[in-house]
Structures are given as structure tokens and as C-alpha cells.
A and B are shown apart, each in its own frame.
Chain A
Amino acid sequence: MGARAAAQSIDQGAELLRVDDISLSFGGVKALTDVSFDVLRGEVRAIIGPNGAGKSSMLNVINGFYHPQQGEVWFAGSQRRNPKPHNIAHQGIARTFQNIALFNGMSTLDNIMTGRFTHMKQNMLMQAFWRGPAEREEVQNREKVEEIIDFLEIQAIRKTPVGRLPYGLQKRVELGRALAAEPILLLLDEPMAGMNVEEKEDMSRFILDVKDEFGTTITLIEHDMGVVMDISDRVVVLDYGRKIGDGTPDEVRNDQAVIDAYLGVAHD
């Protein structure tokens, strides 16, 4: 928990995460080559790029699922050395997935509850008896989860198994589960994929509200350029595993290399 406490003590606007010269390859396939960028506390940082640019790989490096062959990841002022994803979760990084990864048979409430596991300190035996401290802990966790349900306006589906929910709502539940961990850094992998205009607007509003209300730093991958430009503070552009642009939405929008790569002029 040392890293979590350290991360929380840092002021808004200071550096929260830095990746230096990251290179990642799978056999002969180079997914990422010498990528460096930083994420400041309290900002929405987008990673964009065409298909296969290495965006998801980058996210997987950040949350410790992939270990890069070269480069360093600095989180909250200390360097990480090949951690496991669950260590990362304890340090205060939570994420959602491109393909929703919820427990389909479980209710919305239970799914979000699972996001609280980093905050459960009682051992299994105590939880099985569910008396005293374990009970108090569960009540506390439930309160937090209810706050999130209220925040995301999903009260009506609290008891519904998530498998029965439409796609847009499942995405929202997944965001809820990530929020339940009370992360310092929230990683969103295409939070708006497959949504209609109205759902996208809702999701954008939730993302901005998460930033404002909880002060959470957000790093997201998204394909919808309109959305990215609207909600991000800064944008990193990847193409074929290399960083080709970095800056505010306006800077990136007017960058010729980005235009070529993203609009497919040069490659397709």
C-alpha cells in the first residue's frame, strides 16, 4: 500500500505515470518501439492510433499484464519491476476492457462488489463467518458500491444479471467495477466502442464527472475522434508501435504525421 499512499499525496498536475523507451515484441512482431510519454495527475490522457498501432499493448504494459523487453515504467515516483497485475491493482490502477469482461451470471451489484477486492482485508474464514469486522467491512464496501451505482445512474439494474443487459449498460457496469477499486489511475480500453450517439454522450459525461468528482486520472484508448478531442486534455498518437504525436487535441489534430497515419493517407 506504500505506492498508493505516495500516489495520493502528490498534487494535481504533477507527474503520475511515466513510460520511458518502452519496447515490446512477441517473437518477431514488434508491438511497441521506443515509446515514451507521461500522464499528469488529474488529466484525461488519450492514446489514439489506427488498428494495430499498439494502443492496447501499451495499456497492458501499464497495468502489468505485459512486461516490456526494454524500457521503464514509473508510477507515482517509483520505478516498477515486472509486477503482477494484482500488485498493480493494489497500487491504485484499475481498468476496463475492450471486450467486456464481466461475470455474466452475477448481478450488477455483485459485479461492482468484486471491484472492491483490494479493499477487503479480512481473510476468507472471517468472511465466511461474516460477523464483527467482516460484516462491518462488507457494509462499508456496499456503501461505496451504492455511491457508484448512484453516480452511474444504474439503480434500476442493481439486481439484474449483467448478461441480460444491453451492451451500453454493460460498459457502464464495467466502469463501475473499475471505479469501485477507487483507483488513482483509471485505464479505459475503448469505453465507447459499439455505442450509439446517445450512449457515447452519456459515457463522455461520466468520464468527465469521474475526473471532476473523484479526482481520478484517466488514460483511455478510443477510436471516435470527436469524443477524444472533446474530453481529453492531452493525446498520444501511436502508429505501427511508434509514437508519432503527443500534445493537446488541437496540436495533434493539426499534426501532418498524425493526419497521414490516422486518416490512412500514407498507408492504406
Chain B
Amino acid sequence: MNQDSSLDTFPKHLLHTARVHANRPAMRHKEYGVWQSWTWSQLLDEIRAYSLGLKELGVSPGDKVAMVGSNKPRLYWTFAAVQALGAVPVPVYAESVAEEMEYVLTHADAKYAVCQDQEQVDKLLSMSEASQLIQHIIYDEERGLRDYDHSRLHHFEQVQQLGRDKLSNDTNAEQAWLDAIAQGRGDELCVMLYTSGTTGKPKGVMLSHNNVMSASRNANLFDNLTEKEEVLAYLPLAWVGDHIFSYGQFLTAGYCVCCPESQDTVEVDRREIAPTYFFAPPRVFENLLTNITVRMQDAGRFKRWLYSYFMSVASRCGEDRLNGKSVGLKDSLLYTIGNAMVYGPLRNRMGMTRLKVGYTAGEAIGPEIFSFYRSLGINLKQLYGQTEASVYITAQPDGEIFADTVGKPSPEVELEIDENGEVLYRSPGVFMGYYKNEEATRETKDAAGWVKTGDAGFIDSNGHLKIIDRAKDVGKLNDGNMFPPKYIENKLKFFPNIKEAVAFGNERDYTAVFLNIDLVAVSNWAERNNIAYASYQELAAHPEVYRMMEEHVDQINRDLSNEDRMAGAQIRRFLVLHKELDADDGELTRTLKVRRSFIAERYDALIEALYSDKTEQFITTEVVFEDGRRGELSATVQIRDMKIYGQEVLRESA
């Protein structure tokens, strides 16, 4: 792999890769049930025509081009096509509601927009302010858009045709395009990514070519990734992780990116492609495991026995094998048999047969879930990163995997813990600043280039970073005990039956939590136990469900009582929410993280009840349906008291 310093921008890298790997597959897309592919030289051809077409439409250096849609090849081409003109791509979360999107588009001064389909075009046209700002909209899928006013709407193919016409009519066009690319510099703005905004309005993180390039190259080196890898692009384009995996590393390593047929077919497509490099938030791994567990419970008795027997073998020796330790002859033999009968088929089912390395990040993953995949021989690792760092801050090196840490500093990353316990880092991937927000930039990044992560953590005896919680979230109970909400919530969420948990306790007398049941797991459990229910609400309030939740919370309290600094944070009271926390209602961010303060406001009555001696509370909440209409949901929610374990109990049980 050429690490030439003259390759300091992505368009330059595209030209380079298209020359070096001209006939290797660059991209695949499943369409009409068949995987269609492009080689690197074909890809360059498509992007060049598209880029020149955009130039004809007036895209000039410094312009911001918004991108709205899912993982389609043409949207990925947009990155390079736009960058080749010196303009800046701004991918936007396609799922975000109109107001959120409008804020981002106007804040970013987007003059052009590339949309996937009618749905996104409609959304843009419905925004009065952003729509005035945007001069041209380019769309990928024609369907339903035929009768629209086409004065500023263009089909992707028309734009490409514009470029092709230019190429054939003007002999200098290609050279001019190449010259413009040659003039690009590594310290120029490469992409603007808006953070999902757990706190306040989204901020536009400006990353330079150097930022994304160094992060991508280091990641390739760290895991020995080459042009032979195949990855599946299925995470939101606007998310920094996808940008590095499916664009940065794609161009620098020259590997093949595969775009699924639709969001619903990702699992099937992953199985067909069997990616060698894979990235997913913990949620994806949790869902996969839940599905497997549910299906195993429906299997015949022999299969169930086979599964449970060999899974116990795997949990005994699988991880050690993967870490390269010797496990003894008997276990070694059993594991080989298990590999043929259970682990291999399971890996195949999950599309992880060829997986070289898989990463999970974004949130803490349950230790059992993490171990499950590793014991199957899947090299799953954790990393810790941020948009502001071009992803990588720490990652677990091969052979040094601990479920409760996020690994060692990535190449070229310096790490420090300040006096408040907050994690700071400095690296070549550190962002240029927030767009039009000097103040926030100064708050986050100091003059020497150190960036505050906002996370509290410490470096353990192995030199690995361990994250406890968001620095500002770690609070105190009224009795002075530490209250780390995320820590407690994550512990709860590791139970398959609990989908989401929200803990309260800062400046309160004790810890109390909201729970959300996991509909897949709990409904299956209900079916097996002959528990009838008509709705989510009814199931959530079922006495048997409450009993199960009580057992889970009790288990957490026992665990917490065993940890020195956490014993005071045991859960005194809890309730099971009558509705699923939903991003459409603003309760979760688009990356499905809990919005604590919003929830606290919305369910104020429930929280007050948790800190009174009521055993139930009536509440009415407004809900937003998928099409934007509003409705109301009301319920009487039960509240349960829990047993608190003191030091004596601890001794007895220990």
C-alpha cells in the first residue's frame, strides 16, 4: 500500500487507487436481487462524469452539498465527486425529523442537496427556509418524482449525462478536473459531520482530509486491512463511523464496500457477502443474539441440547483459543467438533464466516454478549471514539481483550486523565473545529490540541482505558454517595428482557429507574408461559413481567452492593414504562441514546411518584406517529420497592 505523502486528499487517493487496483471490485450493490459491481476504474469513470455534471450545475469550491439518504453507491460517489470540486459534503441523518434536518441544512449553508428518493425530496421541499437556500436538488431514485417541477430538481443520471456531454464536447474538461484535484490540500475541510446532539442543538464537526486520512490509514495498519477486505455499508452515512469505514478506509485500503438492497435486507445481505471487516453498535449484536436465543428455544430437543452443550464448551475455552492460549487436548478436541456442528453454522447464519475483525462501539456492550461472540471464534473487539477524533481514541489490540475496557490508545493518539477524571486526547485525527461555533470549539479543544471527551474514566493496571460514564452525568445522591446513571443503566440493559433503562438519583435521596421491556424477548417469554396480552402497554404492566423485572433489579442491587464505591447507588424503587422510548417522540437520539433531561421533563409525574410513597401513578403522554400525526397515550403505571443490600448481606452472600 502506498503511503505517499502526495496523496493528501481523498480525490487524489481515488485516482491513485483506480490506477493501482483498476480491475479489483470497488463497490457492490444488490439490486433486482443480484449483486451488481463496479471495479475501481469503472467507479472512477462514474464519479468523474458525476462530478463534472455537478460542476455544470454550478457546484464550486467551498460550497456545502448536503446528502440525505441511506447507503446507496451513488451517495458514496457524491463524497468524492463533491470533494474533487473543492466543495464540502455534509451528510445528514435521513431519519431525522424535518425540524432537525432543517436546522442542520441552514446551519451548514447547504446550497445543493443530494437525496435518495421522493421521501427525502418531499422533506426538503417542505422546509421553507432550507428550501430557499438550496439551489439544486439531485435525486437517485426517480419513482414518484416524474410530475414534480424540474426547474431545480435533477435525476442523478441527468447530472451524470451533463458531465459525459461535457467530457465529449470539451477536450480540456478532464484535464481541468484533474488539475483542480491536484490543487487540493490535506489541511482543507474534507467533510462536515453533525453530532447527534444528546445535548442541545447538533454541532457541525469539521474534519480535514488530514484528519480522516490519518485515522483511516492508522486503522488499516492496526488491523492489517488490505484491498482484499469486503465490508457492508449499512450504518447512517452521517455517522463518523460509517464515514471512516465505508469511505476513508475504503479509499485508503482500496477494499470493496457493499451496499445492501434495503434497510430490511441487511441481515440476508450480510450473510451473502460475509464481510471480512465489520462494525456495529452493541445493539446490533444484542439483537442478533436475541434472535438466535429465541429461535433456539423453538428448536427440537436434540438441537437444544447440542446447542447448550457446545455453547458451554465454547464459553469454557473459546475465548482462550481466540486469544492464542492453549486449552488442553480434550477441550481442544471438543471445540473442533463444536466448530463443525454449532459454531460454524452459527457464524454462517450471522454472516461472520470470513470475519477478520469486528468492532463494536458507541455504548458499552454486555460482557456476556461480548464473550458469546468471541467464544464462537469471532474476533470481536471494542473501540472508543468520537466524531471529534475522526473515530479512533482507543481500540483493543488482538490478544488483549477485556470485556470491561475499551483498549489501549490507537496509533498516534495521546491520552490523559485530568484531575476531575475526564478523559482527554490528542491525535492527528483531532477535528478542525465546530462550524460557526468558536465558543464550543474553545470549550472542547485547548490551544495545545487536547480535546475533552466529556467521559469520565481511568486507565487500569493493564494500560487499558475504562470508561465509567459521561463526566457531567456522574452525580451525587443526597447522602454523598456517587451516582453513575449510565453504569447502572448498562448493567440493567444487559438483561435481554430489558431494552432500555433510565436511572434517576442526582441530588435525590436514592436511585430510582424507569425500565422498558424488550418486546421481542418478553413477548416470546410470554408465549412460552401462556401469558396473554393485547398490547405493548398491557404486557409491560403484567404482574408476571413485573415479577421478572423485580428479579433483574434485585440481581443488580446484589452486584452493586459487591462493588465498593457503588453500594450506595442501589436501586430503591423502579417502574416499567407503558410505552417504548422512541426517537420519533424525541426520547432517544437518532443513534438511539437516551435523552435523559427530555425524559425527565416529559415523565415528571412518574419521577415525582418514584420519590414519594405512591404505589401507582396515572400519566398521559403525547406520541407522534410515523407519518407525523399526534395522539395521546395514558396509563396507570405501577411502582415497586426494592430490597437494599447492606454490608452484612454482602458478607453472607459472598
* A interface with B by C-beta (< 8 Å): 109, 142-143, 146-147, 149-151, 153, 155-156, 158-159, 198, 201, 205, 209, 212-213
Contact = CB atoms under 8 A, between A and B. Distances in A.
B477 to A, nearest CB: 44
Contacts of A201: 627
Contacts of A158: 33
Interface stretch (B123-131, B140-148, B318-326, B399-407): B140-148
Nearest to A142: B33
SS of A interface (majority): helix
B443 interface: no
Contact of B264 (A109, A146, A156): A156
**How many B residues touch the partner, as a band?**
10 to 19
B302 interface: no
B31 A150 contact: yes
Given A201-B627, A212-B144, A212-B146, A156 B262 contact: yes
Contacts of A109: 33
B612 interface: no
- Most B CB atoms within 10 A — which of A143, A155, A201? A155
Q: Which 3 A-B pairs have the closest CB atoms?
A: A156-B264, A146-B32, A146-B33
B143 A213 contact: yes
Contacts of A142: 33
B32 A209 contact: no
B265 interface: yes
Contacts of B144: 205, 209, 212
Given A209-B144, A213-B143, A155 B262 contact: yes
B261 interface: yes
B268 interface: yes
A212 B33 contact: no
Nearest to B268: A156
A205 to B, nearest CB: 8
Contact of A198 (B34, B147, B264, B626): B626
Contacts of B146: 212-213
Contacts of B31: 150
Contacts of A205: 144
A156 B265 contact: yes
Contacts of B147: 212
A91 to B, nearest CB: 28
Interface string B626-650: 1100000000000000000000000
Nearest to A201: B627
Nearest to A153: B262
B28 to A, nearest CB: 15
A77 to B, nearest CB: 28
Contacts of A149: 32-33
Interface in B29-54: 31-34
A155 B264 contact: yes
Interface string B245-274: 000000000000000011011001000000
Nearest to B33: A146
A153 B262 CA distance: 8
Nearest to B263: A156
B261 A155 contact: yes
B121 to A, nearest CB: 15
Contacts of A212: 144, 146-147
Given A209-B144, A212-B146, A213-B143, A155 B33 contact: yes
Given A143-B32, A147-B32, A153-B262, 7 more contacts: A150-B32, A155-B261, A155-B265, A159-B268, A198-B625, A198-B627, A212-B146
Contacts of B625: 198
A158 to B, nearest CB: 6
A117 B33 CA distance: 21
A151 B142 CA distance: 11
Contacts of B626: 198
A191 to B, nearest CB: 18
A205 B143 CA distance: 11
A212 B627 CA distance: 23
A109 B143 CA distance: 22
- Most A CB atoms within 10 A — which of B32, B146, B264, B627? B32
Contacts of B627: 198, 201
A146 B261 CA distance: 12
B533 to A, nearest CB: 18
Nearest to A213: B143
Contacts of A155: 33, 261-262, 264-265
Contacts of A143: 32
Nearest to A159: B268
A264 to B, nearest CB: 28
Interface in B15-37: 31-34
18 contacts: A109-B33, A143-B32, A146-B32, A150-B31, A150-B32, A155-B33, A155-B261, A155-B265, A156-B262, A156-B264, A156-B265, A159-B268, A198-B625, A201-B627, A205-B144, A212-B144, A212-B146, A213-B146
A144 to B, nearest CB: 10
A212 to B, nearest CB: 6
Contacts of B33: 109, 142, 146, 149, 155, 158
A43 to B, nearest CB: 16
Given A143-B32, A146-B32, A156-B268, A209 B143 contact: yes
Contacts of A198: 625-627
B549 to A, nearest CB: 29
A94 B264 CA distance: 29
A150 B265 CA distance: 12
A147 B31 CA distance: 9
Nearest to A157: B264
A109 B268 CA distance: 15
A4 to B, nearest CB: 25
A201 B265 CA distance: 22
Nearest to B142: A213
Contacts of A213: 143, 146
A143 B626 CA distance: 33
B239 to A, nearest CB: 22
A198 B625 CA distance: 10
B146 to A, nearest CB: 6
A4 B31 CA distance: 30
A201 B261 CA distance: 23
Nearest to A150: B32
A159 B262 CA distance: 15
A244 B301 CA distance: 63
A146 B265 CA distance: 15
A151 B33 CA distance: 12
Contacts of B268: 156, 159
A198 B262 CA distance: 19
A205 B34 CA distance: 26
Contacts of A146: 32-34
